[in-house]
Homo-oligomer: A and B are copies of this chain.
């Protein structure tokens, strides 16, 4: 945090500060919870949950992370360009069109269905060498992954897997953020049953836990965990204080401050009525920046340590804050307010916006001036 803003910082309506040291600390904390020998991967899909894969992935690699997951083939290609030596898995699997391209870049597709498996084994046969791939078993999410009938087909004809160089068998938890939810234990049992039923699945490393799954205990860890949300500081479960370090600070800049001394309405739709004396600050961040319209008359920011409410409707490029409780010398044009910060993390803002922290982070806009705080010298993980 230099005292003098840079030229581009001074032109932006908001400043997004991403602490790569906190990110690395979170990865180490999660890794430390796993059994010795288990791998802690990192999920960097959706541009590393909106925080910038180009900065996040190399910082994690530098800290010792070697295994990464993305959602889409194009994300995998972008990551390969950043990290030539990393192990990269892509959740959405492979279509006929993408499989050769993935293999050419040494990227491992997660095969989610029997047709995807059949396409991969046909490809292996055609080129005369095995295709490295993961297999995703659906244990109760009912979204992607092999379903019961497909597992039965493989169990009765294991040769369906011929030509695959299986790297991981994985599944995905639906409710791990609610530690008491009965579905997690049911999913665990289903995953174990699938591995027990198909010898090829039992013979390769298994991956089950996302961020929340890591906190469900060692039964859920298997050989490789795939945290995403917790790396970025989001709370991994609903039942305890958030153990993760905060990675994101989002500040908006005050453009104008006005004293109101007659009753009037503020903003689009005249959605807020000022009845007495008030000071209203207009800040250069709006829903086009991901500061969601559902925060209209609900969101809060902090000017220093003072909580200030959003008044009126969130506009595309602007919000209005009631800064009546803030000393006049602090609420001035050019001053910054914390929209996400030490007093008010992404999960808290998400609660006000009636969504989840994940959607707040992935929705962060492109107009902020971004500052990456580098991680300190890497120590062996």
Q: Which residues of A contact B (CB under 8 A)?
A: 7-8, 10-13, 45-47, 49-50, 71-75, 91-93, 95, 97-98, 101, 112-113, 115, 140-144, 147, 174-175, 178, 181, 183, 255-256, 258, 260, 264-270, 274, 280, 282, 284, 287-288, 290, 292-294, 312, 315-318, 320, 333-334, 354-356, 358-359, 362-363, 366-367
Given A73-B11, A142-B267, A366 and B255 touching (CB < 8 A)? no
Cross-chain contact A142 with B264 (CB below 8 angstroms): yes
For the complex, give the distance between the alpha carbons of A147 and B95 in Å.
Answer: 59
For the complex, give the distance between the alpha carbons of A258 and B268 in Å.
Answer: 45
**What is the distance, in angstroms, from A47's C-beta to the closest C-beta of chain B?**
7
A47 / chain B contacts, CB cutoff of 8 Å = 288, 366
Cross-chain contact B72 with A11 (CB below 8 angstroms): yes
**What is the distance, in angstroms, from A362's C-beta to the closest C-beta of chain B?**
4
- B274, B318, B333, B366: which contacts A143 (Cβ < 8 A)? B318
A282 / chain B contacts, CB cutoff of 8 Å = 143-144
Given A143-B282, A174-B267, A268-B174, A12 and B74 touching (CB < 8 A)? yes
Given A92-B284, A258-B147, A355-B293, A268 and B175 touching (CB < 8 A)? yes
A290 / chain B contacts, CB cutoff of 8 Å = 363
For the complex, give the distance between the alpha carbons of A138 and B284 in Å.
Answer: 17
For the complex, give the distance between the alpha carbons of A204 and B367 in Å.
Answer: 32
A46 / chain B contacts, CB cutoff of 8 Å = 288, 316-317, 367
24 A-B residue pairs with Cβ-Cβ distance under 8 Å, sorted by A, are: A10-B98, A11-B74, A11-B95, A11-B97, A11-B101, A45-B288, A45-B316, A46-B288, A46-B367, A71-B284, A74-B367, A91-B317, A92-B255, A112-B256, A113-B333, A142-B274, A143-B318, A174-B268, A181-B270, A183-B270, A287-B359, A287-B362, A290-B363, A363-B363
For the complex, give the distance between the alpha carbons of A320 and B142 in Å.
Answer: 9
**What is the distance, in angstroms, from A136's C-beta to the closest C-beta of chain B?**
10
Chain B residue with minimal CB distance to A280? B142
A98 / chain B contacts, CB cutoff of 8 Å = 10-11
A356 / chain B contacts, CB cutoff of 8 Å = 293
Cross-chain contact B362 with A260 (CB below 8 angstroms): no
Given A142-B265, A264-B142, A359-B292, A256 and B72 touching (CB < 8 A)? no
For the complex, give the distance between the alpha carbons of A112 and B282 in Å.
Answer: 11
For the complex, give the distance between the alpha carbons of A312 and B140 in Å.
Answer: 13
A284 / chain B contacts, CB cutoff of 8 Å = 71-72, 92
A359 / chain B contacts, CB cutoff of 8 Å = 287, 292-293
Cross-chain contact A71 with B11 (CB below 8 angstroms): no
**What is the distance, in angstroms, from A12's C-beta to the closest C-beta of chain B?**
7
For the complex, give the distance between the alpha carbons of A147 and B282 in Å.
Answer: 13
Chain B residue with minimal CB distance to A255? B92
**What is the distance, in angstroms, from A280's C-beta to the closest C-beta of chain B?**
7
- Max chain B Cβ within 10 angstroms of own Cβ: one of A140, A141, A175: A141
Cross-chain contact B270 with A175 (CB below 8 angstroms): yes
A7 / chain B contacts, CB cutoff of 8 Å = 97, 101
Chain B residue with minimal CB distance to A260? B142
For the complex, give the distance between the alpha carbons of A240 and B322 in Å.
Answer: 35
A147 / chain B contacts, CB cutoff of 8 Å = 258
Using A13-B71, A142-B267, A366-B366 as known contacts, list a sample of 16 further A-B pairs with CB atoms less than 8 Å apart, ordered by residue number in A.
A10-B95, A11-B74, A12-B72, A46-B288, A46-B317, A75-B367, A95-B334, A115-B333, A143-B312, A144-B256, A144-B318, A174-B268, A174-B269, A175-B269, A288-B362, A293-B359
